[in-house]
Amino acid sequence: MTSRFISSPSRRTVVKAAAVTAVAVPLATGTSAAAAAAAVPAPTFLHGVASGDPLPDGVLLWTRITPSPDAVPGSGKGPDVAVRWEVAEDRAFARTVASGTTTASAATDHTVKADVRGLSPATAYYFRFTVGDAVSPVARTRTAPAADAATPGVRFGVVSCANWESGYFSAYRHLAARTDLDAVLHLGDYVYEYATGAYPTAPYVVRRHEPAHEIVTLADYRTRHGAYKTDADLQALHATHPVIAIWDDHELANDAWSGGAENHTPGAEGEWAARVAAAKQAYFEWMPVRASTEGTVYRRLRFGKLADLHLLDLRSFRSQQASVGSGAVDDPERSLTGRAQLDWLKSGLASSDAAWKLVGTSVMISPVAFGSVPAHLLEPLAGLLGLPKEGLAVNVDQWDGYTDDRKELINHLRDRAIKNTVFLTGDIHMAWANDVPVKAATYPLSPSAATEFVVTSVSSDNLDDILHVAPQTVSLVASTAVKAANRHVKWLDMDSHGYGVLDVTGERSQMDYYVISDKARQDATARWARSYRTLSGTQKVERVNQPVR
């Protein structure tokens, strides 16, 4: 999604961040997916294998088979083929515990899924697919702890915002190298919909995506997903850890809402309903996510008694974004979540017996506003002038643009005395550590109801990239101004690209922030930058001097 502090290309409003780089592979250096498919005999596994949505007794497996050279993603071509899947306790498949056969056809772009059950909780498994003599790469996955298990800890990689043209996906490679993760949480913008050279502009494109035009049709979205799945670092991530994914806007179109998007022109680009249906179909085909009959990704996963993970869909049901500076952001008739999803979330948080309530939200819930004045003056003044009652919001695509939903949720946490709620967020191409205040204007005199950890982008442009200036040229002044006006913001990094690692125990939830050396280099290194944690029962973040080992 794309609401920011400044604007860049005409079809987006900006301020996001990036991290990238991959291991060398012909497809990652310019060879088209179509040319690669045509150059190899069929059938082949060109797009890797993946797993996702781990349960205590199962996991979802995914792959895509190319049954013939002409059966490239989005082509609608190629015969039906029988695909066998196997799950084993060992990489050599001497101890197979589950297997089965499914069919890959053009109707699902030759993608296949196997929702495997009957596995043991908190256990690593290996899996593979075969078609005749063709064998996929062997991949590793892991089931979740038993629902009633007294799990001592759980650890997630956390990523968002991977724009192919902005750079390489090094963040994925570094997460794939870790052996200590239970899963990787992808908070949205897994793919981008723009035409080549639109974001970033042509002189700054690191590698060209496919197709070159803006994606609108089902074939387009399938082709773009297929191109992304040729990236070696992305394949490595999926082959090593189960991925738990939600979408944000760019899987559909920039700043999407229930009836349209900033980057959609009715008529010239068809009806929005047809475009979003195509985008969602391709997403469910190409991602290791259990398909929903309602066309949504909001769902809940449990990791023992330690953590419930509530995953949100903040695009399918939202009202259209308000104008910056408009008091319409406070309109109770406007919603970010939709009534049913907000009620589902509130009920799940209130009934959870887990030590921690983790909420995967694609856009930031913490307020970021300017023009704040004392609460007793702000509300009547805002009413007279038609301004937002919580200060002048600068990003109306976030929860800041839908303050009634946020107020209802925060009041629910406070009134029900729901402790240890941690929001996990992507989208904004910066790293943040925030308290989530009950009343921002009077914080810290008023309490916080939750905490929030925001990860920066894998590769999408941040403030420095958009302005083409050296790090901290602008961000040092900007971040100081943000923190001065928003005292609940404890840390903000506007310059870096990278990923997070969230470590959860009964005593605390800690986010370790890692940054990539150069998103334009395939051999980019990663280093630890900062760590913040929230102790059980405190609803506040504090800095930690070292990452979890």
Q: What is the mean pLDDT of the segment spanning 164-185?
A: 98
Comparing 11-15, 112-116, 251-255, 321-325, which segment has the lowest mean pLDDT?
11-15
> What confidence category does residue 179 fall into, taking pLDDT thresholds of 50, 70 and 90?
very high
The Cα–Cα gap between 405 and 393 comes to: 15
- The pLDDT value recorded for residue 480 is 86
pLDDT at 19: 30
| Nearest-10 crossing angle of helices 218-228, 272-286 | 30
Give residue 12's pLDDT. 37
What is residue 99's predicted lDDT score, i.e. its pLDDT?
98
Q: pLDDT value at position 24?
A: 29
Q: Is the pLDDT of residue 14 over 50?
A: no
Residue 195 scores a pLDDT above 90:
yes
Q: Residue 5 pLDDT > 60, yes or no? A: no
Average pLDDT over residues 172-192: 98
For 268, the 3-state DSSP assignment is coil
Hey, what are 383's tokens? 């009413």
CB 420 within 8 A of CB 512: no
Contacting residues for 431 by C-beta, under 8 A, at least 6 apart? 17, 454, 455, 456, 491, 492, 493, 496, 498, 500, 513, 529, 530
Instruction: Work out the pLDDT band at 390, boundaries 50, 70, 90.
Output: low
Quickly state the pLDDT bin for 71 (edges 50, 70, 90): very high
| pLDDT, position 362 | 97
Q: How far apart (Å, rounded) are the C-alpha atoms in residues 289 and 246?
A: 8
Q: Indicate whether 152 pLDDT > 90.
A: yes
State the DSSP string of 243-257.
EEE---STTT-TT-B
Q: Give me the percent of the chain exceeding a pLDDT of 90.
A: 79
To the nearest whole number, what is the mean pLDDT of the chain?
Answer: 90
pLDDT, tens digit, for every residue of 287-317? 999 988 789 999 999 999 999 999 999 999 9
Each domain of the chain, given as residue ranges in start order, spans 6-544
Residue 467 has pLDDT above 80, yes or no: yes
Residue 107 has pLDDT above 70, yes or no: yes
What length is written for the chain?
A: 549
147 vs 37 pLDDT, higher one: 147
User: Which comes out higher in pLDDT, residue 475 or 276?
Assistant: 276
CATH number, span 6-544: 3.60.21.70
Running DSSP on this structure, what letter comes out for residue 403?
H
Q: What is the pLDDT of residue 442?
A: 85
Q: What is the C-alpha to C-alpha distance for residues 156 and 162, in angstroms, rounded to an integer?
A: 18
Q: Would you say residue 142 has pLDDT above 90? A: yes
Q: What is the pTM of this model?
A: 0.90
